[in-house]
Amino acid sequence: MDQSLDSAKAALRTELTARLEAVPAQTRTEASTAACRLLVARDEWRTARAILFYAAMRDELDLWPVIREAWSQDRTVALPRYQPACRAYEAACVGGPADLRTGWYGILEPGPQCASIPVNRLDLVLVPGLAFDPVGGRLGRGKGHYDRLLADARGWLCGVAMDEQVVLSVPTGPQDVLLNCILTPTRWIACRQRSV
C-alpha cells in the first residue's frame, strides 16, 4: 500500500475511533434498535436466504435481534470465523447461540463444529467498519480481513454504521472492496459505484 494512502487511512481511523468512543452506550443501543427496524423493512433483507452477520464489538451497532429473527425464519445465518493458520476469516454457519464461542480477537464467532460457507453463496453480507462513504468506500480497523473475506462475494454488501461514521470520502486502494449500500439508524444509502 502506498504511504500516502496508509497515512490518510490512519488519520481517518484515529478521528473515527475518537468519535465512536464519545457515543454513550444508551445512544448506541437505541441506534442499534433503529437500524434493525430499518433493515427488516428492506427488500434486500426480505429476499435474502443466506446472510453473513457480525458479532458486534463495543463500538459497533448490535444486530443480535435480526440474527434471532433470521434463525426463526429458517434462514442460513453465518458469522466470520478466524483461521489462525492462514491468518484470515471465513464465513461459517451458526444454528443458534450455543454454536458461538469467543474467538481469536475476543469476538464471538462460530465454533469449530460449524460448517463453513463460501461467501459467493451469501445473499446479504452485513459489514462493520469505522467509516463509510456514499460511493461504497469502507475503512476497517487496518488489517484487511474483511476485504480479503469479501473478495469473492456476489450478494449485497451492506455497511452497518452510526450516522456519524458516514463521511464524504474514505481513502481506498485497489485491494479495498466497495459496498452496495450502507445501513444507518436513520437511512439506507444506495452506493453509486457498485451494483449486484
Domain CATH number, residue 19: 3.40.50.10420
Residue 88 inside a domain? The answer is: yes
Residues 6 or more apart from 49 whose CB is under 8 A from it?
75, 76, 123
* Average pLDDT of the chain, as a whole number: 93
Judge whether 66 and 183 are in contact, CB under 8 Å: no
The tally of domains found in the chain comes to 1
pLDDT band per the 50, 70, 90 thresholds, residue 195: very low
pLDDT of residue 36: 98
Specify the 3-state DSSP secondary structure of 93.
strand
pLDDT > 70? residue 193: no
Specify the 3-state DSSP secondary structure of 50.
strand
Residue 196 inside a domain? The answer is: no
Domain that holds residue 36: 3-190
Alpha helices in 51-170 (DSSP H): 64-72, 145-150
Residues 6 or more apart from 4 whose CB is under 8 A from it?
none
What is the model's pTM? 0.93
| DSSP β-ladder status, 76-83 and 88-93 | antiparallel
Residue 161 inside a domain? The answer is: yes
Residue 113 inside a domain? The answer is: yes
Q: How far apart are CA 128 and CA 16, in angstroms?
A: 13
DSSP 176: P
Residue 142 inside a domain? The answer is: yes
Residue range 32-46, pLDDT digits in tens: 999 999 999 999 999
